[in-house]
Structure 1
Amino acid sequence: MDFSFEGNGGYRVPTGIGGLDIQLGGGVPTGTTILVLAEPGANADLFARQFVQGGLFNDEDVYYFSSEHPVQEIISDMQDMKLDVRKYIDSGSLELIDAYGPRFYNVLPKEFTSTISAKDFLKKGTDSMNMLKGTVVQKRANKYRGVIDSISYFLRSYPLNNVVEAIEVMSSVGKATGAIQLILMTSGMHDPITENNLRHICDGVIELRLREHGSEIERTIMIRKMRGMLVPNRTIPYVVTARGIELETTTRVL
């Protein structure tokens, strides 16, 4: 597993988003739980895919807990990034946890559910919060990272205290194992108290923002905080290309 020495007695794990790692001096501290607070259309899902890819390329195991998208959609998106997803799934390096399908088994037409595996059928009616807690406390033999996509579903469906408790458990397990974990959340969907609660309990907070500038939409990233680190005191423009999210390396006057 590759770590970047930060020069102050600690090590940083690369996120997989190259420009972000440069801004962070090589990556993030081990055991860090990061909240990605993104406006709709800011490509948080792509950010998460690159984070997954970064872990796999760094010889880490990766879990991806999806409550917002079908697993097949995630696989397809990763294949579009030229990632051999099936190879990593078959080897056990990548685990896709489907918390989306069980929510809709009772309402989908039979032709959409007739091909599900026995294992997935047993998840029918499973409480999503229990699935989340079971995922984050699961013992893993190797170094790993994880993604929760997204916590907004849980905030819509469960009391805030229950969600906060689940994240605190996730964070404590991450600190004990050295895992870095990403939590996606939709900006503007929840009240300010809820957003601030999650900003507070996570070790790092990264915000993806959109702004109309003339006839163009400008995308910027803000590293609001990162445990044990001094973060850039400005927003950083980024673009979306065939290679994913790329942070600009020069400062522009906007």
Structure 2
Amino acid sequence: MDYSFDGTGGYRIPTGISGLDVQLGGGVPPGTTILALGEPGANSEMFAKQFVYGGLLNNEDVYYFSSEHPVSEIIHEMEDHKWEVGKHIENGSLQFIDAYGPRFYNVLPKEFTSNLSAKDFLKKGTDSLNLLKSTVMYKRENKYRGVVDSISYFLRAYDLNTVVEAIEIVSSVGKATGAIQLILMTSGMHDAITENNLKHICDGVIEFRLKERGSEIERTIMIRKMRGMIVPNRTISYIITNKGIELETTTRVL
């Protein structure tokens, strides 16, 4: 696979979030599985969408596994930010795996399920964790990246050891193929032991935080760890714009 070279003795794959890539010397090592741990309202989901689009711009195939949101909602939000994904869906370079719709097939009114595709209809009785495993282990010919949105659903629905095993599969497949993968998790929803288990398993951990300062909200990220790299020793402020998440280092390189 043809990865970009950062000139410091190691290969890096750009995440697609330019300020973060500056901080990381060009991106992250191939085969890295990153845990994005975000407080509600910190917009870690937007980070995931930029991560997806960054992969498409880097000529990678991308899978997006959604257990928390309707796929149509994700696509609409990406298009609102001018991240044109339609052509990538059509040519197969962007694949959405819907684990959300089939979960609610039997409880939603028929008008909400009448447009369910034959493929999704067959998935309505599928175990979501097995669907995640089959998605991750699917053989892909091109370089690729993936998003799991989110692992918090699985932690609510399955025991911790079962989820840990699934993440270990995600990580091992990434290392074998050189793919970078992003796993979303909601901060504060799970106990400390659960959070620490996931922080330990993943190669990288990025925390998204909110803090009230008077009448304003300050948003920061902390790169807690990244495999094989020395990470910044400070939190990094970011803002939300119509272009997505912008870290302060997009205009000021330290």
Which TM-score band (shorter chain)?
Answer: over 0.9
Whether the 8 Å CA contact 1:61–1:143 is kept in 2: the answer is: yes
Q: CA deviation at 1:5?
A: 2.4
Q: Does 1:186 align with 2:186?
A: yes
Matches of 2:148 and 2:140, distance apart in 1? 17
Q: State the Cα deviation string for residues 101-155 of structure 1 (Å, max 9, x = none).
A: 0100000000111121111110112110000010111100000000000000000
Matches of 1:211 and 1:6, distance apart in 2? 36
Give the match for residue 243 of structure 1.
243
Q: CA deviation at 1:84?
A: 2.1
TM-score, normalised on structure 2? 0.96
Give the match for residue 45 of structure 1.
45
Give the match for residue 153 of structure 1.
153
Whether the 8 Å CA contact 1:35–1:205 is kept in 2: the answer is: yes
2:65 alignment partner AA: F
Whether the 8 Å CA contact 1:6–1:26 is kept in 2: the answer is: no
Q: What runs of 5+ residues in structure 2 fail to find an aligned partner?
A: none
Q: State the Cα deviation string for residues 191-211 of structure 1 (Å, max 9, x = none).
A: 000000000000000000000
Whether the 8 Å CA contact 1:4–1:27 is kept in 2: the answer is: no
Matches of 1:199 and 1:166, distance apart in 2? 14
Matches of 2:5 and 2:47, distance apart in 1? 21
Give the match for residue 200 of structure 1.
200
Whether the 8 Å CA contact 1:68–1:149 is kept in 2: the answer is: yes
Matches of 2:247 and 2:111, distance apart in 1? 43
Matches of 1:6 and 1:40, distance apart in 2? 37
Whether the 8 Å CA contact 1:66–1:100 is kept in 2: the answer is: yes
Whether the 8 Å CA contact 2:3–2:13 is kept in 1: the answer is: yes
Q: CA deviation at 1:86?
A: 1.5
Give the match for residue 174 of structure 1.
174
Matches of 1:83 and 1:6, distance apart in 2? 29
Greater Cα offset, 188-197 or 242-251:
242-251
Q: Which runs of 4+ in 1 moved over 2 A?
A: none
Whether the 8 Å CA contact 1:2–1:58 is kept in 2: the answer is: no
Greater Cα offset, 106-115 or 242-251:
242-251
Give the match for residue 68 of structure 1.
68
Structural RMSD (CA): 1.0
Give the match for residue 6 of structure 2.
5
Q: What runs of 5+ residues in structure 1 fail to find an aligned partner?
A: none
Give the match for residue 94 of structure 1.
94
Whether the 8 Å CA contact 2:6–2:25 is kept in 1: the answer is: no
Q: Does 1:141 align with 2:141?
A: yes
TM-score, normalised on structure 1? 0.96
Give the match for residue 126 of structure 1.
126
Q: State the Cα deviation string for residues 68-87 of structure 1 (Å, max 9, x = none).
A: 00000011011112122110
SS of 1:12's equivalent? Answer: coil
1:30 alignment partner AA: P
1:137 alignment partner AA: M
Q: State the Cα deviation string for residues 22-76 of structure 1 (Å, max 9, x = none).
A: 0001000000000000000000110000000000000000000000000000110
Percentage identity across aligned positions? 76
Matches of 1:240 and 1:84, distance apart in 2? 19
Whether the 8 Å CA contact 2:16–2:53 is kept in 1: the answer is: yes
Give the match for residue 103 of structure 2.
103
